[in-house]
A and B are shown apart, each in its own frame.
Chain A
Amino acid sequence: MARAQLRIAACAAALLVIALTVAGPASHVTAVPLSLEDAARQEGKVVVYGSLESETMDAIQRAFTQKYGVSIDYWRGASNKVIDRALTEFRAGKPSFDVVLTNRGPMRLLKDEGMFIKYLSPQNANFPASTKDPDNVLSPIYRMALVGILYNTKLVKPEDAPKALEDFLSPKWRGKWVIPDPTQHTTTEQWLRNLEKLYGADWLPLVRKLAETRPIVVESFIPAVQKIISGEALAGITYVKYVRLYGKDGAPLDYVRLPKMLSEGHTAAISARAPHSNAAKLFENFLISREGMQIEADQGEFVTAKGIYPPIKDADKIHAIVFDELTSEEFKKWAAEFRPLFVAK
Chain B
Amino acid sequence: MKAGLLALPRAGPAARWRSAFPLPAVGLAVVLAFLSLYPTAMLFYGSLTTVPLGHAGKLSFANYVTAYTDPGTFTVLLDSFVFAFGASALSVLLALALAWVTVRTNAPLRSVFELTAIIPNILPPLLIAISWTLLLSPSVGLLNVMLRGIFHVAQGPLNIYSLPGLVFVEGLILTPLAFLIMSGALRNMDPALEESARTAGAGHWQVIRQVTLPLMRPAILAAATLNFVRALESFDTPAIIALPARIELFTTKIFREALAAYPPNYNLAATYGVSLLVVALIFVALYRRFTSRVEAFATITGRGYAPHAIDLGPWRFAGAAVAGAILILIVVLPVGMLFFISILPFYQVPTLETLQHATLVHYTRIFHNDRVYRALLHSLFLAISGASAAMLLASLIAYVTVKTKIAGRGVLEGLTFLPWAFPGTAFAIGLLWAYVNFPLPIYATIWILLIGYVTRFLPYGLRSVTSTIIQIHREMEEAAWTSGAGFLATFRRVLIPLMRPGLVAGWIVLATIFMREFSLSLFLYTPSSEPVGPLLYYLWLDGQAGSVGALGLLISVISAVLIVVARRYGRLDR
Contacts and interface: CB of A to CB of B under 8 A. Distances in A.
A309 B493 CA distance: 71
A335 B261 contact: yes
Contact of A219 (B53, B137, B541): B541
A196 interface: no
Contacts of A223: 540-541, 543
A216 to B, nearest CB: 5
B371 interface: yes
A345 interface: yes
Contacts of B371: 73-75
Nearest to A88: B53
Contacts of B248: 343
Interface in B344-395: 345-349, 357, 370-371, 377-378, 380-381, 384-385, 388
Interface stretch (A141-149, A160-168, A227-235, A310-318): A227-235
A184 B544 CA distance: 21
B212 interface: no
Given A19-B381, A217-B244, A343-B246, A231 B348 contact: yes
A238 to B, nearest CB: 10
Contacts of B443: 92
A96 B381 contact: no
Contact of B526 (A89, A218, A225, A343): A89
A53 interface: yes
B54 to A, nearest CB: 6
Interface stretch (A246-254, A262-270, A281-289): A246-254
Interface string A156-181: 00000000000000000000100001
A184 B248 CA distance: 13
B262 A75 contact: no
Interface string B39-80: 000000000000011100000000000000000100100000
Interface in B428-460: 436, 441, 443-444, 446
A91 B357 contact: no
Contact of B72 (A49, A81, A88, A344): A344
Contacts of B161: 216
Interface residues of B, number: 57
A81 B529 CA distance: 16
Contacts of B543: 53, 222-223, 225-226, 246
Contacts of A55: 544
Contacts of A226: 347, 543, 545
B349 A230 contact: yes
Contact of B259 (A84, A231, A233): A84
B2 to A, nearest CB: 45
B246 A331 contact: no
Nearest to A3: B573
A73 B370 contact: yes
A186 B262 CA distance: 7
A69 to B, nearest CB: 15
Contacts of B348: 229-231
A49 B527 contact: yes
Contacts of B493: 1
Contacts of B206: none
Interface in A1-59: 1, 3-4, 7, 14-15, 18-19, 21-22, 24, 47, 49, 53-55
A141 B357 CA distance: 38
B109 to A, nearest CB: 35
Contacts of A229: 346-348
Interface in B299-318: none
Contacts of A217: 243-244, 246
Contacts of B444: 88-89, 92, 94, 96
A250 B357 contact: yes
A57 to B, nearest CB: 10
Given A21-B377, A96-B527, A249 B345 contact: yes
A230 B347 CA distance: 6
B140 interface: yes
A78 interface: yes
Interface string B139-150: 110000000000
A182 B161 CA distance: 19
Interface in B218-270: 243-244, 246-248, 256, 259-264
Contacts of A233: 139
Contact of A92 (B345, B436, B529): B436
B467 interface: no
Interface residues of A, number: 66
A249 B246 CA distance: 31
A231 B349 contact: yes
B538 interface: yes
B263 A331 contact: yes
B475 interface: no
B527 A18 contact: no
A184 B542 CA distance: 16
A97 B527 contact: yes
A11 to B, nearest CB: 8
Interface in B382-419: 384-385, 388
B210 interface: no
Contacts of B75: 345
A202 to B, nearest CB: 26
Contacts of A181: 243
Given A230-B347, A231-B139, A47 B243 contact: no
Nearest to B380: A18
A222 B542 contact: yes
Nearest to B368: A58
A332 B541 contact: no
Contact of B263 (A22, A49, A220, A328): A328
B517 interface: no
A47 B527 contact: yes
Contacts of B482: none
A251 B546 CA distance: 13
Contact of B527 (A73, A80, A106, A216): A73
B441 to A, nearest CB: 7
B530 interface: yes
Contacts of B436: 92
Given A226-B347, A250-B346, A344-B72, A232 B538 contact: no
A80 B256 CA distance: 11
Nearest to B155: A175
A71 interface: yes
A152 B226 CA distance: 44
Given A18-B380, A75-B530, A250-B357, A184 B349 contact: no
A85 interface: yes
A1 B243 CA distance: 56
Interface string B561-574: 00000000100010
A84 B264 CA distance: 7
B528 interface: yes
Given A18-B384, A345-B247, A231 B140 contact: yes
A32 B196 CA distance: 90
Interface of B: 52-54, 72, 75, 134, 137, 139-140, 161, 243-244, 246-248, 256, 259-264, 345-349, 357, 370-371, 377-378, 380-381, 384-385, 388, 436, 441, 443-444, 446, 493, 526-530, 538, 540-545, 569, 573
15 contacts: A7-B569, A15-B384, A18-B380, A18-B385, A19-B381, A24-B528, A75-B527, A81-B259, A81-B260, A184-B256, A220-B541, A226-B545, A232-B140, A233-B139, A246-B346
What are the 3 closest A-B residue pairs judged by CB atoms, nearest first? A75-B527, A184-B260, A222-B543
Given A53-B543, A55-B544, A91-B52, 14 more contacts: A14-B384, A19-B385, A22-B381, A92-B444, A183-B261, A216-B161, A217-B243, A217-B244, A219-B243, A219-B260, A222-B542, A246-B543, A328-B262, A331-B262
Interface of A: 1, 3-4, 7, 14-15, 18-19, 21-22, 24, 47, 49, 53-55, 71, 73-78, 80-81, 83-85, 88-89, 91-92, 94, 96-97, 106, 176, 181, 183-184, 186, 216-220, 222-223, 225-226, 229-233, 246, 249-251, 328, 331-332, 335, 343-345
